[in-house]
Structure 1
């Protein structure tokens, strides 16, 4: 049975950015009664700036830009195209059709959506297709455009608090090519996915669904940031440690630990509990914000460019997503 190896990974970060200070100024200008202490966003999240897609760009355009990078680096036929993102161009049809048309591939398509774990779940599905012999090469493309759902006009302070996590969300594209590896020496070694779905209401973006309907107020993020952090902490390190134990590994055996990043202060306690050395991680949230499901591909690409990982390196991908879900993937590069 072939394994599925990561043949190429890429991320696209739009050049246009908005600093945390600019976000605060905009909020004050639009909401005269809002008391927003200077530097609050940076102190609370560690985020300095976020990326903004160009005018007229959609989620599919971000995905296409990243997909073209991986296809140029690793050319070949595509047996399946999966669009994996919390964002989408339309409710119907699947955004993968739009990406497919813009790339001119003519491949079979479908979408995978699971908030910030969308790319990780798409890799899980692609791995299964390759192991089953149905595909030899799968292109996963993500286009995250969460800045479209940021609330600028606020009713009161309580609504500001519920909207706060959205101010550090960032637009980005990402792409991954998985292909069959007959040697079995490289590829996805193991996966583990967990959910605590009773907490689904902690963070929502209901617009376009049957709950939110056509209510304009439902087109913005509504999140309990403290509640989200609490649930992730309650999950604890045991699922991650159990995955490592299955393979006789410790965190120090990993060349890279890539983890979804929402805010900088959350990370040190997590790495400390896992025993992850500081030189085995890539911090992206400070300079690029919360990139949703494009986070892990960006960290993996940066690690490659910095010489942290190469052929044979052992990588652990940790995905955290609203819903609430935890995704783990152990990969031999």
Structure 2
């Protein structure tokens, strides 16, 4: 690194993971008061994946993390083709930080990241969780990148993973239609801002006044301190859809515009926008706010639904594997979630090895 460049976190590995069980809209229609058409026209989603009994968020996080580490190893060796092959044993052994974004940890205590790190053979490294719901991956990415640029880490594994099927009301057709389980991960290494894959900037924000728009009312210290059993419905995830729609479009658009101005890009400069995969109408509205045609959007919610913190990295993995993301593309990431929280990041796309997310 020369005096003319600046230390940066560089994306050098990418992977995703989905459970084995796909749930098409027709399966929900057979169980709930809904139809395939109702779900597709309101969300754009045709199917989602759910974990099997006994599986947990950490299982998906480990699978995605292992693939991202293998991607980083093969990228470093110049193997950038998309093809099959199992993970190598020497995948990125110098990772010294694991950050896991999740709202569905394996346990309320302790954090899930240390167990994920151990299962990946990364013993002794710093590992912690971040909870920002659907914005979690962007928050985790910014945290890991900051630690790298500050010199506190050399290489980081950043994972977004959630299993919202475990906190949904089985009788709620709306939330069950929207959410699926999944995980995505990236590897960041220390580099400089001139490199492809360098993270060029972030914009993060929150507004706690909207905390009740996206929430699980029971299970935390506020409810538990009352020593009163909560109503059954309070154990499940709830969302005020119309208000969330409006807030999501406004917050992601403003965050994206703020970041673009900060790094000297215009909306028209963007080759791809990878937004949180919540709802196809939200994605289209964000593109419209940025003055972009719909074909600049990366959309994979059709087959995976809303995977919460796994959403953005899974979309990246799909788009990289099918060639939608090309080396040199100017890429914007943007998300919105409970809290309320929002955030954006920008980079020029590198050329990592990546395998399709089955």
Is the shorter-chain TM-score for this pair beyond 0.5, marking a shared fold?
yes
The superposition leaves residues 272-327 of structure 1 with CA deviations (integer Å, 9 ceiling, x where unpaired) of: 22122333222112221111111111221222223233443321001111122220
Unpaired runs of 5+ residues, structure 2, are 1-5, 73-90, 350-358
Q: 2:286 aligns with which of 243, 266, 270?
A: 270
How far has the Cα of 1:38 moved from its partner?
6.8
Flag the 1:235–1:113 CA change in 2: closer, same or farther, 3 A: closer
Where does structure 1 differ by over 4 angstroms across 4 or more consecutive aligned residues? none
Task: Show the counterpart of 1:300.
Answer: 316
Distance in 1, matches of 2:213 and 2:245, equals: 10
TM value normalised by structure 2: 0.83
Q: Corresponding residue for 1:122?
A: 140
Distance 1:20 1:130, change over 3 A: same
Deviation at 1:262, TM superposition (A): 1.4
* Structure 1 match to 2:22: 17
Q: How does 1:141-220 map to 2 (within 5 A)?
A: 141-153=159-171, 160=172, 164-182=174-192, 184-186=194-196, 187-213=198-224, 215=230, 216-220=232-236
Conserved? CA contact 2:256–2:332, under 8 Å: no
Conservation of the 8 A alpha-carbon contact between 1:144 and 1:172: yes
Q: Deviations over 1:16-43 (max 9, x none)?
A: 1112221132125xxxxxxx56732233
- Pair 312,56 (structure 1): closer, same or farther in 2 beyond 3 Å: same
Partner of 1:232: 248
Question: Please, what TM-score do these two structures have when normalized by structure 1?
Answer: 0.89
Retained in 2: the 8 A contact 1:212–1:218? Answer: no
CA contact (8 A) 1:149 1:166 kept: no
Structure 1 unaligned blocks of 5 or more: 29-35, 154-159
What is the CA RMSD across the aligned residues, in angstroms?
A: 2.0
* Paired positions, count: 318
On the 8 A contact 1:2/1:184 being kept in 2, the answer is: no
Shift of 1:236: 7.1
Deviation at 1:50, TM superposition (A): 0.9
